[in-house]
Amino acid sequence: MSMNQYMHPRNIYKQPPNFKQLAIQYPEFRKHVSQDISGKVTIDFKNVEALRALTCTLLKKDFGLDLEIPLNKLIPTVPLRLNYLLWIEDLLNLAGRTENIKGIDIGTGASCIYPTIAAKKYKWAMTATEIDPESIEYATNNVTKNQLSHLIKVVAVAKDTLLEEVLKEYPGEHDFCMCNPPFFSSVQEIHPFFKARKQNRPHPRNAFCASVDEVVAKGGEVEYITKLIKESTKINRQIKIYSTMIGHKSSLPPLKKLLREVDVVSFKQTEFCQGHTTRWGLAWTFHDVDLTKIPDSLVAAKQKLVKPLCYEVPKSDDLTYKVSVVSEKLVTIFQELQIEYQEVKHIKGFVEFVIVAYANTWSHQRRKKREKLRQETSNGDNNNTEIHQTCDKFAELDFSGAEVKKRPLDVDEDSGFYSAKKLKSSEDGASDRFYLKAKISVMKVDDCIGLKLNYLEGNGTKEALHQILQYIKNNLTKS
């Protein structure tokens, strides 16, 4: 399935390039296209020269860049690189940085694609590091040929050098660093039939086009990024925002765990979706910037595909019928169940929590309450109006654009972290791999108070959310 619908909203490639138009406009690209009997124009994505022609053509057409890329080096896909740069732009805007931006690209490669796009599109000043002599030569020539030498410095560094040595040579504060690390720990992992790949996962559609040194490193991306994180603790505030791309989703938990351990002020992860490929981004900072507040349109788009669970809170003599009181009762329930929670929105008539459960702590409680609930129902107590997925007056409400009460909001979701007031789980050694993450909203509509529960993710699936709702129903009016 194409992931273009989840691209960054400002990515110009959300609408795929028109190969026919490109072939008419650019003779070099025309050599690599073919037309089927229906008239559709395409290229052979298994052909390295065709991939290079596509990349160079898009860079020329959309950014006015004329880059030379050798066939034995990494041929970057433009939509993915643009996704990453657009995210960096969002992070900088959040940090209040919009002018005189200085960035570092770790391992720029022969194409020098990140710095050249950043310089051409945003006028950012970039330091581009590289260890490979051939790649350094190509990168330097690409900068010179495109008349960007006043904005881009290509710096040769020793192997295993990330940031420390570079900042000794080029001191001063930088706004960000970015990195496209080697994803694999061995040459065997590159093979599409590598045993660690899921059996139902499709093989790569594109030809492999990179040198081994560009995609393989000892310990893979986890060890590489771990080193970057540890270096960042020494460099600290010299760089405002540290960031990296990640090739395997399984790499995220240990890296986020490490970020919590080294006491970053905040971190944020995202997804880069393009074509049939998904990559991840991870950013962190030691400055007082809450990176979790960056808009996450991708998550929002995916959440809309899953209908929420809704429940109209019954009026009861045991419960004061106010949003604030119901919210306080929910907090008590979260604490009883040892669920991490964070109030992320609080306006008049609306309170929203993000919860994270690391284990199922509610199922054994339900059996004790079930018989009591049956007895109440048989006695005619039918005030528990359950409206799963059909309560339109709650489900369709959207408070996302409402003004938040002006006070610090401290979000500690799995996709990000802000340490201003970090919530800890009941167990200090809680695993980064959670059982359930969900969003629970309390709202007043007309004379009714309702709950809306949105499943976000987790091993517990949506059934776990049903169970939590049942527990809430059984305990909400309990004095």
Task: Tell whether 349 is in a known binding site.
Answer: no
Which of 155, 110, 149, 148 shows the shortest CA–CA distance to 129? 155
Q: pLDDT tens, 246-263?
A: 998 989 999 999 999 998
Is 86 a residue whose pLDDT tops 90? yes
% of the chain beyond a pLDDT of 70: 74
Q: Encode pLDDT of 313-362 as tens digits.
A: 998 888 889 999 999 999 999 999 999 999 988 888 899 999 999 888 88
> How confident is the model over 404-420, as pLDDT tens digits?
333 333 333 456 766 54
Domains of the chain (ranges, CATH numbers): 73-301 (3.40.50.150), 309-475 (no CATH)
What is the percent of the chain where pLDDT is above 90? 53
Does the annotation list 180 as a binding residue? yes
